[in-house]
Structures are given as structure tokens and as C-alpha cells.
């Protein structure tokens, strides 16, 4: 259902407010550059700092521009099940194609707690759900057994895997099947993840290199491995630079260099250091994104 290069969208700000015009222009550019899908209001979109009204508005703005050209997977996750349900129902109402739900963070649920959380969300609205497993931020890891149990529910359709474990997609494919969409959330392991049974990526790097990221996935599908490996190597330094400080601070700075938005962030995130700016600029030049 979902595959290829899917962008975890930044949320542009200007003077403390969501820059709606910049965001919609950015979404349209992403689609024109070949991006296969869009994720508004994920971590890269600074969802923890958006009000509920802003969160809902950003989803609406994205769906409005996409116009069905590519799927919109709305970020709707929360460590509060009731809040996650409310965000899911809104995404369904405004015709998002799916929702992305992070494993509940901070309260550290058990595997049974994770199952019951996702089942409650699943039962709240008839919309496809992608599980987001990122132990580095949530401090808990969904087991393959729990994921397989959830995958039996008709609307649990895939996972964004940010574990960094490239053995896991093989085990997941063998344990759940090939119809369960496995998407990596780690730009640095895209090719390895695809080789191990993945079908795409929810990418930070594609915010600033959408055409290159899309071409890598298209080349993988056509088995043009020389091109795949060339793009992998070209993007490698950029993938690293965009995580030299906490995401999305580096990628927002990178997007500002392309004139796509300001580099403005919301506290507790702050502008990246001068040394980090140099890393980002150098990596973008190396990738051919800046003169």
C-alpha cells in the first residue's frame, strides 16, 4: 500500500506561527520532485510543540495540496490513547490516506499495553495505521510478537522501523508476511533495509533531496543497482549531517538554504551551532544541492 520515498515533512514557522503558505508550497514541490508519499505532523514536523489546532490545520493543509496525487500519512501518535484516537478521527474526517502512530513514549507500556493502545486506536476509525517503532525516543521497543498480533487487525498495514536493526525486516517479513509494509525511518540504512525486505523509507533527507531520494527508490525497483549505490554514496554525508544535532534542527537549516522556509524552530529546540551549519552546508554541496 505504501512504498518508495515518503517525506517526513518539516513544519515551517515564521514569527512563531505556522507558515501556511510556505508549507503548502513545500508540499507541492515535494510532489513535483517525485516524492511517493507525505507524512505531516511527525517528529520531524515538530508535532510535540504544535497545539491541537495547529496539528489538525497542518494535516488539512497537506491533504488540500496533495489532492490524491500521493498518499498522506498523517502523524497522529500520542502517549495518551484518547488523544491518539482524537487525532486519528480528525485525520479520517479530512481524508488523509492513513495515520502514523508512534509507540507510546515516556509511560513505558508493556507489550500488552502497546497492543491495547493500538487496538483502541484501530477500533476508533476506519483508516489504515502505520506503527512507528523508535526505541531511541520512546524508551520501549515493540516486539515482533506484538507487531504480528497487531498485524492481524485489518487496518494495521505496516511499520516505520527506526530501530536501526537491518536484520529485523527479514524476521518481520517471515513472521508477518509480505503485505505488511516495512518502511525504514533511518536514512542511513535505506539500501540495506530494502535488501532485507523493506519497501520504502519515511525520510528526513528527502525534505531537501526529494528527487535524489525518489530516484534511489525507483532505481531499486528497476534493479539499476549501479545508480542505487551511486546515490547512496552521494547522500551518505548528507544523511549524517542532518543528524549532527537533534532532528529537525539541521534539516530545517538545510531547507532554509534552499529558500523553502525559515530555519525557525520551537523551544526546546534551538538553531544549530555554527560548526553544525558548516557540516550541513558542506554535505549539501557534496550532494550537489548547493553551488
Task: Give the per-residue pLDDT at 248.
Answer: 98
124-133 per-position pLDDT tens digit: 999 999 999 9
d(CA 185, CA 182): 10
pLDDT at position 33 over 80: yes
Report, as an integer, the average pLDDT of 263-289. Answer: 98
Q: Is residue 271 situated within a structural domain?
A: no
DSSP 272: P
Residue 179 among the catalytic residues? no
Q: What count of other Cβ atoms lies within 10 Å of the Cβ of residue 211?
A: 15
Task: Give the per-residue pLDDT at 25.
Answer: 98
Report, as an integer, the average pLDDT of 14-32. Answer: 98
Helix ranges restricted to H, 33-134:
52-66, 81-93, 111-124
Residues 213, 205: contact at Cβ < 8 Å? yes
Q: Is residue 249 situated within a structural domain?
A: no
Q: Is residue 245 situated within a structural domain?
A: no
pLDDT at position 179 over 90: yes
Q: Is residue 96 situated within a structural domain?
A: yes
**Which CATH number does the domain housing residue 198 bear?**
3.20.20.70
Report, as an integer, the average pLDDT of 185-196. Answer: 97
Q: Is residue 228 situated within a structural domain?
A: no
Q: How, if at all, do strands 13-14 and 200-203 pair?
A: unpaired
Task: Give the per-residue pLDDT at 291.
Answer: 85
Q: How many CA atoms lie within 13 A of 244 on its CB side?
A: 24
Report, as an integer, the average pLDDT of 136-156. Answer: 97
Task: Give the per-residue pLDDT at 160.
Answer: 98
Q: Is residue 291 situated within a structural domain?
A: no
Q: Is residue 240 situated within a structural domain?
A: no
Residue 160 among the catalytic residues? yes
Q: Is residue 274 situated within a structural domain?
A: no
pLDDT at position 56 over 80: yes
- For residue 77, the surrounding DSSP H or E stretch is none
Q: How many domains does the chain have?
A: 1
Catalytic residue among 15, 67, 106, 132: 132
Task: Give the per-residue pLDDT at 162.
Answer: 97
Catalytic residue among 3, 115, 160, 277: 160
d(CA 89, CA 127): 9
Report, as an integer, the average pLDDT of 182-211. Answer: 98
pLDDT at position 1 over 80: no
Range of the domain at 61: 4-223
Amino acid at each position: 500500500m505504501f512504498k518508495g520515498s515518503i517525506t517526513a515533512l518539516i513544519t515551517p514557522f515564521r514569527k512563531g506561527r505556522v507558515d501556511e503558505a510556505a508549507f503548502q508550497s513545500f508540499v507541492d514541490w515535494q510532489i513535483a520532485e517525485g516524492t511517493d508519499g507525505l507524512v505531516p505532523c511527525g517528529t520531524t514536523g515538530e508535532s510535540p510543540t504544535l497545539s491541537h489546532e495547529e496539528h489538525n490545520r497542518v494535516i488539512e493543509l497537506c491533504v488540500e495540496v496533495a489532492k490524491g496525487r500521493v498518499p498522506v500519512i498523517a502523524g497522529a501518535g500520542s502517549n495518551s490513547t484518547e488523544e491518539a484516537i482524537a487525532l486519528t478521527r480528525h485525520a479520517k474526517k479530512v481524508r488523509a490516506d492513513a495515520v502514523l502512530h508512534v509507540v507510546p513514549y515516556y509511560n513505558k507500556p508493556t507489550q500488552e499495553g502497546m497492543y491495547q493502545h493500538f487496538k483502541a486506536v484501530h477500533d476508533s476509525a476506519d483508516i489504515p495505521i502505520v506503527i512507528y517503532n523508535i526505541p531511541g525516543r520512546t524508551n520501549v521497543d515493540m516486539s515482533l510478537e506484538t507487531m504480528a498480533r497487531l498485524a492481524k487487525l485489518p487496518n494495521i498495514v505496516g511499520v516505520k522501523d527506526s530501530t536501526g536493526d537491518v536484520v529485523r525486516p527479514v524476521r518481520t517479513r517471515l513472521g508477518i508476511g509480505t503485505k505488511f509494509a516495512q518502511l525504514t525511518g533511518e536514512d542511513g540504512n535505506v539500501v540495506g533495509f530494502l535488501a532485507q525486505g523493506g519497501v520504502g523509507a519515511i525520510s528526513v533527507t528527502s525534505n531537501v533531496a526529494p528527487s535524489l531520494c525518489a530516484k534511489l527508490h525507483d532505481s531499486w525497483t528497476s534493479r539499476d543497482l549501479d545508480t542505487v549505490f551511486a546515490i547512496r554514496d552521494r547522500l551518505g554525508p548528507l544523511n549524517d549531517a542532518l543528524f549532527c544535532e537533534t532532528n529537525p534542527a539541521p534539516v530545517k537549516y538545510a531547507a532554509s538554504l534552499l529558500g523553502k522556509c525559515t530555519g525557525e524552530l520551537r523551544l526546546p529546540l534551538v538553531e544549530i551551532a555554527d560548526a553544525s551549519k558548516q557540516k550541513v552546508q558542506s554535505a549539501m554541496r557534496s550532494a550537489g544541492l548547493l553551488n
